[in-house]
Each structure stands twice: as C-alpha cells, then as structure tokens.
A = this chain, B = another copy of it.
Amino acid sequence: MDFFNKVGKVALGSRLRLMTATITDDAARIYELYGINFMPKWFPVFYMLMEEREITITEIANEIGHSQPSVSKIIQEMITVGLVQENLKTADKRRNSVALTEQGILLSKELKLQWIDVEAAVESLITESNHNLWAALEEWEFLLQQKSLLKRVIENKKIRESQDVQIVPFEPKYLDAFKALNVEWISTYFEMEEADYKALDNPKEYILDKGGKIFVALYHNEPVGVCAMIKMKDDTYDFEMAKMAVSPKAQGKNIGWLLGQAIVNSAKEQGAKKIYLESNTILKPAINLYHKLGFQKVSGLATPYKRCNIQMELAV
C-alpha cells in the first residue's frame, strides 16, 4: 500500500488490521477449498479441544487470548453442528467442561492435513521474505508486554514536551505565580500555615536575601511550575528544597524533575554537601520524584509544618 509509506509508522494499527483481514479472508476460502464445514474463527478453540480432550471455557479463553464470552459463543456454534459436547460431569457445577464429539475427532484428522498445507504455505512466505513476520509478531508481543505502546508514547510525550519547558531564575514578575501555584496544591491537600504565608508573600526577604534561590518553569513562556531552595542554618544541611509546585494543567511534562535538577545543580555549584526536604506521604507522585532525584528518608528533625510526615535528604 502506497498509503502506508506516505503516512508512516503511526499507521501501524491500520496496516496490521488490513493484513489480518486479508489473511482471515483467505483462511475462510481455504476451508471451502477443502470442503470442510468449519469457520476460521473456531480454529484456536478447536485446537485447544484437540490438545486437551476435556477443558473448561475459561481455561480455553485464557490459553488462546480471547474473551470468555467469545469462547462461549464459539463453543455453542460448534455444539450445534455436532463437533463438540458440553456439560461433562464435574464436581464444580459452575464449570462447563467441553470436549470434541466423535464427529469432531474425525474432523480433526481432516483438518490436520489442511494445516500441513497452510503451515507449508506460511513457511514458504517466510523463506521468500527478508523480514520474518511470524518472528516479528512473537518479539513484539514480548516487547509490548514489557512496556506497552501507551507507556512508550507517554515517555516520548514527556521528552518532547520537556523540550518546550524552560527553567529560569525567579524574577519579580513571577511573584504572583509563585504564590498561586503553591496555594493551589497546599489548600487542595492541606491547609495553608503561618510559615507558608511568610515565604510565599515575601520570597525576597525570606528566601532570596538569605542566600536561597527560586526557579520557575516556563511552558510556552507561561510560568507553570516553581521551586525554592532555602538556605539552612543547620550544621548538616546547606539547603532545603521547598515550595515545589507544578500546575495540574502542565503535569506529565517532566517539570518536577527539571525543577529538582535545577535545584540540585545549583546547590552543587555553590559547593553544598546536603539538601533537605519535608513532605507528606499522601503526595505519592512527589515522593516518587524525590526518590528519582536521589533523596533518602531521614527522621527526627524539627519542623514548623503540621503537614510534614516525611523528611528526606540528598548528599549532593
């Protein structure tokens, strides 16, 4: 298809669909050719019955990767043409144990001959081709099980969008954003406290003038994330990472990571040894991010915040 070369690999799904359709169409004609009264869609179920002699519907579904209702219907169809018998006595009355009838067993012998020919035809296609479709499918099943297409796309989205994110130092024009972004999440999960108002209303006095820094994340030149590093008077810690906030509208763009990295790098440049932070375990994505940045849990330090139930540190 010329179409697919034009469109590119986004059309993988469509291309697969078409290939599937051509193959199954031919499959139907092949059964006709052999004069066998058999529907292609019965194949995987029938095959399981050939192998297992007696098996339940759910077992078949799990094995062949169909839904249970799908197998249920196929079994019913095969019962009406006399290939399968059901309700073989089992202890568990919910289970519907099914098996081939005499006629089914007879048919399986005919089918085996046909499958030899089909297998040979597919083999010949594989031999003729440079790219092994069968092997590719097997490999892709594995790769997609490891990490789904969705996950892979999310990753790529993050990377692409984080390229549009700029991390810049604080300027007075970001004063409102610094407060608003923090108030947004704090008041969603907790309550604003005295210490919050101090820092958010007077960042110059409480953060910058004391040797701290604030970074702002811009997405398309809009401030969508902020984070502060506050100079500590402590012996062990040089800076506290605090007031990190990312707008919900801009989530999934790696912004937290980029802000955290900016803080850590800046601390390094200033010769810091250790960074400290306080948080709450209900903020799972945040805790996750801190872990990724390298922070480790510590305990026992004094804090002015009620909402703090976890403390972490990072040796720069």
Contact = CB atoms under 8 A, between A and B. Distances in A.
Interface of A: 1-20, 22-24, 26-27, 29-30, 33-34, 40, 43-44, 47, 51, 63-65, 113-126, 128-141, 143-144, 148-150, 152-157, 160
Given A10-B119, A138-B4, A160-B116, A149 B23 contact: yes
Q: Which 3 A-B pairs have the closest CB atoms?
A: A131-B136, A121-B152, A9-B122
Given A13-B23, A23-B149, A133 B137 contact: yes
Identical copies of this chain, number = 2
A131 B135 contact: yes
A33 B154 contact: yes
A20 B16 contact: yes
A9 B123 contact: yes
Nearest to A129: B139
Given A13-B40, A20-B20, A143 B128 contact: yes
A144 B22 contact: yes
A173 to B, nearest CB: 29
26 contacts: A7-B44, A7-B47, A10-B43, A10-B115, A13-B24, A15-B137, A16-B23, A16-B137, A18-B65, A18-B141, A22-B144, A26-B148, A26-B150, A27-B149, A30-B153, A33-B150, A116-B160, A117-B153, A117-B160, A118-B156, A121-B156, A125-B143, A128-B143, A132-B136, A133-B137, A133-B140
